[in-house]
Amino acid sequence: MAIIINEKTNVIVQGITGNQGRFHTCQMLAYGTKIVGGVSPGKGGQEVEGIPVYDTVYEAVDNQQVDASVLFIPAPFAKDAAFEAITAGVKVLVIVTEHIPVHDEMDIVELACRKGTTVVGPNTFGIVSSGKCKIGIPPNQFFVEGPIGVVARSGTLTYEIVGNLTANGLGQSTVVGLGGDRVVGLSFVDVLEKFEKDPQTRAVVLVGEIGGNAEEEASLYIKKMTKPVVAYIAGKSAPPGKRMGHAGAIIERGKGTFNGKVEALQAAGAKVATLPFEVPELIRQILK
Amino acid sequence: MKLFEYMGKEIFSSYGITVPRGRMADNSQDAANIAREIGGTVVVKSQILAGKRGKGGGIKFASSPEEAGEAAAQVLAMTLNGHKVEKVLVEEKIQIDKELYLAITVDGSAKKPVIIASAQGGMDIEEVPDEHIVKQYVDVSIGVYPYLGREISRQLGLTGSIGKEFNRLLPILYKIFREKDAELVEINPLVISGDKLIAADSKMTVDDDALFRQKAVPYVEDRTSIEKQAHDLGLAFVELGGDIAVMANGAGMSMGSLDTLAYYGGKPANFLDAGGGTGVEGTTKAIELLLQTNPKVIFINIFGGITRCDDVANALVQVKNAREIPVPVVIRLVGTNEEAGVRILKENGFEAYKVMHEAAAKAVEIANAS
C-alpha cells in the first residue's frame, strides 16, 4: 500500500527542461518513478532522458495517462502552471517551488479543493512512497520501504530523520512533505488520516516546527488514532518574534511555542523526541 | 515587510477609505507647518514598526503649530521599544464616539483569508475576549461582497448610516489586501465619528515573496546589516548573539542544528538557512557572512537534497583559498553527491562528519574550550 502515490503513479514534470527539472527528473527516474512526460512551453517535441516533452499540460494529458505532476517552475509563474495542471485534471500536484506569494498559494489551494486535486506543498521536498515512487527532490538512497509513515513541515530535517530511521533498519511506507509555507495544500491531519487507514503503516513520525497551530490541530486527531505517533519539533531554542526561515516558523504573541506544541502532542499520547537522532529508538520501543 | 502607519494610510486613502487629514514629517519645522495647514488641535504620532507607541509617550497632542513643532522634536528624539523614531505623522484630532477593530489576514490552517472584527476596538485584539470577536472566512474564488459586510455589521450591532458605511468599507479593505499582496491589513481603531467611519490607525504587512510585483509599494528596511546582506543573497539569516556560527540547508534543519547545539550547551551566533540549490557562489558568500559574526567556531550542517555536497565542499575550498579562515570549521556533510564532497574536503584538509549530533557536540566543545 502506501498513501497518495504508489508504483503505478504516472508522473509528468512541469519545467522539465530547466536546470532543476532536468537534474531531478534523472534522480526520480533512478529511483524508479514512472515519469511519462515533461512540459516546457515552446520545447514540445524534444526529449529529456528519453522522456517526451510537451508544450502544455493539456497536450501531455491528451497523449498519456497522467496521475500526478511536479512543478519545477519559478515562483512568479507557479500559480499559472498549477492552475494549468489542476484544470487539466491532474489529481496529485507536487509544488517544489519556494517563495510563491501567499495570495497565489491561497488561489491554488482553493481551486485544487474545488477540483479535487491533492496539493503537496508549496515549498516542499515532495512525497516518497519508499521503494515505489518518489515525486520531488530528496536524495534517493535514504528512502527504503517499510512500516513507518512520516509527515513533515520541513525538508532537510526530514532527510535527517528518514536517514536515521533507515540506518536503524526502519523503512518507510510514505514520507510526505507538507511544505514550509503558511498556506499549503495538506495539513498534518489530512495525512495522519491516510496513514491511519493504510495497512502498510504501523507507526507515524511527525516532524513539526515552531509557529502556527498545525501541531496542536494534529494533536486533536492523534488522540483518536490507533497507530502510535512519535514527534520531533524543531525550534526549541528559537527566540520569539524572529522568523526562522519558513514563513510559518515564528513565535508571535506567545503563540506557536515549542512547549505548547510538545505539551499538546504528549497529552494526545504521542512520544516527543528531544533531538532528531532519538526518533528511531522511540519508534523501536513502541513497536516492540 | 511591515509598512509605517502613514504609508498604510496613504494606500487606504487612495482606495477611498476615510483617514484623518495629515501628513508625515521628519523634522519639527515641517511638523509645525503641517499643523498650521490642518488648524486646531493635532496629534503627533511616532512612526515605528512596532505597537504600544502611546504608552512610551510616542503619541502627543498639540493645540498650536508651535506646540506641534515641540512635540515633534521630542518624539523624534525618542527610541521606542528599541526602534529609533525618524518620522512622525501629524494629523487632525478626530472626534471619537466609539472604537471598532477590523482586520483581514491569512489564516494558515483554514488556508484562506479571514476577516476579524470587533466592537471593542482600540486595544490589542489579543486582549479582547473571544465572544466579542467576529470572524468570517473568505472564499478567494468569490471574494468579499457587501453581504459579508451586512452580516458582520449585524453581529457588531452597527446600524443606520454607520452600518452602510461599514458595508462600503469592507470590500475596499479586501481589495487592498488582495491587490497589495498583504499578509495583514488592520485598522485599530476604526473610529465612529458622527456619521463617519475613520481609519485612525493602519497596520499593513506586505508579503516579502510578492515584492517583485509590488513596485508601487514603498520599500521599508527592517533588518540588521548582516541580515540585509543575507537577504540580498537570497539567504534567510537571523542574528542570535552567540559564538558558534551556523550554516545549514533548509529552515527545519537549521532550527534542528540550533536546538542540537543548545542541547550540548552551545550558544549559536545565528540562524542561517543556506536554502536549496544555492550553488558554489551562494555558499561562498554565506560562509563569508558567518565570519562577520566573529565566531569561535563555524558549524556547517548539510544534508544534501537539492543542495549538492560537492558544491558545498567546493565553496568551502574556494573561501579557504581566497582568504584565511581564522577559526575551526566543523562540517557534517551527507546526501546528494556526498562521496565527491567528502573527497574534495579531505583533499583540502577538512574533516567531514557523517552524524549530526556528533558534529554539533564537537563544535560546542571547541567553542567552550577557547
Q: Does A139 touch chain B (CB under 8 A)?
A: yes
- Looking at the structure, do residues B88 and B105 belong to the same domain, yes or no? no
Measured between CB atoms, which of B259, B276, B336 is closest to A236? B259
Binding site, annotated residues of A for CoA = 17-20, 43, 96-98
pLDDT category of residue A245 using cuts at 50, 70 and 90: confident
Predicted local distance difference test score (pLDDT) of residue A161:
95
- Does the pLDDT value for residue A24 go beyond 90? yes
CB atoms closer than 10 angstroms to residue A19? 11
DSSP A238: P
What is the DSSP track for B154-188? HHHT--HHHHHHHHHHHHHHHHHHHHTTEEEEEEE
B94 annotated ligand binder: yes
Contact B244, B269 (CB under 8 A): yes
Cα–Cα separations (whole angstroms), residue B124 to A253, B57, B118, B170, B187 = 11, 17, 11, 20, 11
CB contacts, 8 Å: B113 with chain A: 106
What does each C-alpha distance from B74 to B41, B61, B287 come to in angstroms?
17, 12, 43
> Percent of chain B beyond pLDDT 90?
74
**CA proximity to B136, closest of B123, B124, B150:** B150
Contact A280, A164 (CB under 8 A): yes
Q: Which residues of B touch A250 (CB under 8 A)?
A: none
Tens digit of pLDDT for each residue in A144-188? 999 999 999 988 899 999 999 999 999 999 999 999 899 999 999
Contact B259 A99 (CB under 8 A): no
Residue pair A141/A256 in contact by the 8 Å Cβ criterion: no
Q: CA-to-CA distance for B235 and B247, rounded, in angstroms? A: 10
Query: Half-sphere exposure (CA, 13 Å, Cβ side) for A198?
Result: 27
pLDDT confidence of residue B250: 85
Nearest CA in chain B to A246: B251
| pLDDT attached to residue B159 | 94
Residues in a beta bridge with A13: A38, A70
pLDDT digits (tens, 9 = 90+) for A210-239: 988 899 999 999 999 999 999 999 999 988
Which residues from A are below 8 Å from B304, CB to CB?
Answer: 139
> What element of type H or E holds B88?
strand B88-92
Looking at the fold, whether B266 and B157 belong to one and the same domain comes out as no
Distance CA B272, CA A150 (A): 25
Q: What is the pLDDT of residues B150-197, one digit of tens each?
A: 999 999 999 999 999 999 999 999 999 999 999 999 999 999 999 999
Interface test with A, best of B303, B334, B358 (most A CBs within 10 A): B303
What distance in Å separates residue A199's CA from the closest CA in chain B? 28
pLDDT confidence tier of residue B284, bands split at 50, 70 and 90: confident
Domains detected in chain A: 10-120 (3.40.50.720), 138-287 (3.40.50.261)
Domain assignment present for B220: no
Residues B203 and B146 occupy one common structural domain: yes
For B199-220, b/e burial (b = at least 16 CB within 10 A) is bbbbbbbbbbbbeeebeebeee
Interface check for A22 against chain B (CB to CB < 8 A): the answer is: no
In a domain, B9, yes or no: no
Same structural domain, B82 and B197: no
% chain B with pLDDT above 70: 99
pLDDT for res B279: 66
Q: Are residues B71 and B126 in the same domain?
A: no
**Is B186 an active-site residue?**
yes
Closest CA to B108 of A126, A56, A216: A216
* Nearest Cα residue to A16 out of A87, A86, A96, A80: A96
B231 and B364: one domain?
Answer: yes
Q: Are residues B165 and B203 in the same domain?
A: yes
Instruction: Label the pairing between strands A92-95 and A133-136.
Output: unpaired
Domain assignment present for residue B144? The answer is yes
Look at B252 and A111 and tell me if their CB atoms are within 8 Å.
Answer: no
d(CA B102, CA B115): 7
Between A108-117, A245-254, B16-25, B45-54, the lowest mean confidence (pLDDT) is in A245-254
d(CA B151, CA A279): 49
Listed residue (A285, A287, A216) closest to A255, CA to CA: A216
Domain edge (last residue) among B189, B213, B237: B213
The verdict on B196 and B163 lying in the same domain is: yes
Choice among A116-125, B235-244, B270-279 with the minimum mean pLDDT: B270-279
Report yes or no on B359 lying in a domain. Answer: yes
**What does the pLDDT look like over A30-46, one tens digit per residue?**
999 999 999 999 999 99
CB neighbourhood size of A240 (10 A): 13
Indicate the helix (H) or strand (E) that contains A63: helix A57-63
Q: Is residue B326 scored above 80 in pLDDT?
A: yes
Mark whether B172 and B55 lie in a shared domain: no
**Residue B6 is assigned to a structural domain of this protein:** no
B116 chain-A contacts, CB cut-off 8 A: none
Within-domain flag for B281: yes
Cβ neighbours for B257, distance < 8 A, ≥ 6 positions apart: B246, B248, B268, B299, B301, B356, B360
pLDDT interval class at B277 (50, 70, 90): low
A86 touches chain B (CB under 8 A): no
Q: pLDDT digit string (tens) for B298-315?
A: 999 998 877 888 988 998
Segment holding B263, helix H or strand E: helix B251-263
Among chain A residues, the shortest Cα distance to B235 is held by: A245
Position B340 pLDDT exceeds 90: yes
Domain boundary pick from B92, B122, B142: B92
Q: What is the CATH number of the domain that holds B194?
A: 3.30.470.20
Which pLDDT score is estimated for B307? Answer: 80
**DSSP state, residue B322:** H
Phi-psi region for residue B125, left (φ > 0), alpha (ψ -120 to 50) or beta? alpha
pLDDT at position B100 over 90: yes
- Residue B346 counted as domain residue: yes
In a domain, B53, yes or no: yes
Residue B286 phi, psi dihedral angles, 5° rounding: -60, -40
Asked if residue B315 and residue B245 are part of one domain, the reply reads yes
What are the CA-CA distances from residue B147 to residues B98, B152, B168 (Å)? Answer: 23, 9, 10
CB environment A48-83: b (16+ within 10 A), e (fewer): beebbbbeebebbbeeeebbbbbbbbebbbbbebbb
CA end-to-end span of chain B, whole Å?
39
Residues B163 and B294 in one domain: no
Query: Beta-carbon neighbour count of residue B368 at 10 Å?
Result: 15
Q: Would you call A99 a catalytic residue per the annotation?
A: no
| Among A102, A139, A274, beta carbon nearest to B209 | A102
Cβ pair A154:B252 closer than 8 A: yes
- B81's CB contacts (< 8 A; 6+ apart) are B48, B50, B52, B56
Within an 8 Å CB–CB cutoff, is residue A214 touching chain B?
Answer: yes
Identify the domain boundary among B77, B92, B107.
B92
pLDDT at B231 > cutoff 90: no
Residue A56, pLDDT above cutoff 70: yes
pLDDT averaged over chain B? 92
pLDDT higher than threshold 60 for residue A288: yes
For residue B59, the enclosing domain spans 21-92
Does A153 contact B at CB distance below 8 Å?
yes
| pLDDT at site B276 | 59
What residues of chain A lie within 8 A of the CB of B334, using their CB? 163
Number of domains in chain B: 3
Contact A223, A268 (CB under 8 A): yes
Q: Are residues B83 and B50 in the same domain?
A: yes
